[in-house]
Amino acid sequence: MARLILFNKPHGVLSQFSDDGSGRPTLSSYIDVPGIYPAGRLDRDSEGLLLLTDDGKLQARIADPRYKKPKTYLVQVEGLPDDAALSALRTGITLKDGPTLPAQACRIAPPDLWPRVPPIRYRKSVPDAWIELIITEGRNRQVRRMTAHVGHPTLRLVRWRIGDRSLDGIAPGCWRDA
């Protein structure tokens, strides 16, 4: 039977088990389970749900965009996105690597999350807001590029859900079997 692990990846951790010589923390700093591999990635600056499995077919079904598994992100952005910005995200925008599929996007109240280490920069003169963004693709730094494209650079990015699996009840740096 396939093993599936839900891990709350902290900010600054690489989504791989081996270090590239940089001295940055990797998954091996948190998970000591042989034979599992990440199903997809989160960039070093992003936090949140990372699924790991020992089943190659399951790994492909989770990570491959052909399966259109929805991924939910809680995104703190610079500025206050208006209806036009959210509408652009909902209809799809064109990035340098082509058009994105339509996303679900809405403004949300600031979520009750753990403090980020290091904290997000705070600028008194520039407001920020939170949006929930649900995409079915998984391009490199896609959410960050999408929010920047509509004029609201990402300050904090937390992947909360992949399909029906969520971070609910998993502290940063912790994991549990699905």
Identify the active-site residue in 19, 43, 45, 97. 43
Q: How far apart are CA 15 and CA 20, in angstroms?
A: 12
C-alpha–C-alpha distance, residues 90 and 72, integer Å: 14
What distance in Å separates the CA atoms of residue 129 and residue 109, rounded to the nearest whole number?
8
Whether the Cβ atoms of residue 148 and residue 154 lie closer than 8 Å to each other: yes
Catalytic-residue membership of 43:
yes
∠ CA 166-12-170, nearest 5°, is 25
* Helix H or strand E segment including 86: helix 83-91
With contact defined as beta carbons under 8 Å apart, do 132 and 21 qualify?
Answer: no
Closest CA to 77 of 160, 161, 156, 158: 156
Those residues with Cβ within 8 angstroms of residue 29's Cβ, 6 or more apart along the chain or in another chain = 13
Q: Catalytic residue numbers?
A: 43
